[in-house]
């Protein structure tokens, strides 16, 4: 469930104006909103790695690693990919995940998690490792042990399958869309929320991130309007939340 951009904006305005600390324009808010969303999004990958090293709790509901992975689920995609495809040409591409080879005698990708059901995991090597691996008959890439490497954002596969033998599939993560609080200007020159605009965009993060978005935007707003107290309050609240997560 996405986070309403208007709800976040109204909370930010209410807290920023509580003591006449300054008005945050829609243009400023949209810039802060994009920055805040990407900060939280990028933190997911760090959290998965950090918390993944800790023993899991008995219940998945309280397992931070699983919760964070669940938040990333909305950004996962799977698609066919060809050798020499430019990864940056994939719309909103952010990070490459697992790569598989699907043999042609299995259709669909319903069992992509199970390499025994028609799918083989493709191993990633760097260029130097690739050259070394091809020198020995036991390490050379085959249809049963395909490999890939990335150079200049282009992915390359060995072996290159014929169209009748199968295809490569990549699981990857896309970036969230830029949030955009859209508005109309009224006769009094006030900005009125316009959710019907074609470029309107809510936050794409998990609904549990609403408060984190508010706090991060307040931090950025505090810097913009040179209110260190506002920045400090938001920072303290954010640090408190992080500390609670790590306990």
pLDDT in tens, 151-178: 889 999 988 876 667 889 999 999 999 9
3-state helix, strand, coil in the chain (%, to 5): 40, 20, 40
pLDDT reported for residue 240: 53
Regarding predicted confidence, which is higher, 186 or 233?
186
Residue 22 has pLDDT above 70, yes or no: no
Regarding predicted confidence, which is higher, 233 or 119?
119
Residue 242 has pLDDT above 50, yes or no: no
Alpha carbon dihedral 122, 125, 131, 134, in 10-degree steps, equals -30
CB neighbour list of residue 102: distance below 8 Å, 6 or more residues apart:
109, 112, 118, 119, 166, 167, 168, 169
Residue 244 has pLDDT above 90, yes or no: no
Q: Assign 111 a pLDDT band (cuts: 50, 70, 90).
A: very low
pLDDT in tens, 57-96: 555 545 777 888 889 999 999 999 988 899 988 888 999 9
Upstream peptide bond of 159 is cis (omega within 30 degrees of 0): yes
**Would you kindly state where each structural domain of the chain is located, as residue ranges?**
5-71+182-246, 93-174
Whole-angstrom distance, CA of residue 230 vs CA of residue 159: 57
Q: Assign 109 a pLDDT band (cuts: 50, 70, 90).
A: very low
Residue 223 has pLDDT above 70, yes or no: no
**Averaged pLDDT score across all residues of the chain:** 81
């Amino acid at each position: 469930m996405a986070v309403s951009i208007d709800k976040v904006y109204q909370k930010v305005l209410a807290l920023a104006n509580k003591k006449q600390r300054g008005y945050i324009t829609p243009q400023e808010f949209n810039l802060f909103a994009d920055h805040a969303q990407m900060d939280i999004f990028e933190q997911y990958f760090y959290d998965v790695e950090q918390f993944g090293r800790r023993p899991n709790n008995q219940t998945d509901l309280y397992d931070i690693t699983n919760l964070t992975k669940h938040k990333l689920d909305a950004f996962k995609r799977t698609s066919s990919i060809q050798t020499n495809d430019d990864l940056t040409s994939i719309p909103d591409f952010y990070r490459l995940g697992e790569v598989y080879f699907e043999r042609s005698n299995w259709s669909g990708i319903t069992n992509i998690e199970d390499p025994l059901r028609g799918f083989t995991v493709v191993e990633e090597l760097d260029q130097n490792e690739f050259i070394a691996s091809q020198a020995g008959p036991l390490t050379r890439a085959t249809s049963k042990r395909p490999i890939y490497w990335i150079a200049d954002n282009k992915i390359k596969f060995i072996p290159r399958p014929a169209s009748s033998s199968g295809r490569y599939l990549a699981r990857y993560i896309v970036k969230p869309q830029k949030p955009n609080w859209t508005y109309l200007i009224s006769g009094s020159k006030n900005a009125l929320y316009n959710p019907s605009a074609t470029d309107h965009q809510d936050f794409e993060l998990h609904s549990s991130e609403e408060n984190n978005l508010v706090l991060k935007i307040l931090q950025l707003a505090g810097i913009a309007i040179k209110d260190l107290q506002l920045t400090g309050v938001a920072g303290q609240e954010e640090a408190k939340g992080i500390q609670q997560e790590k306990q």
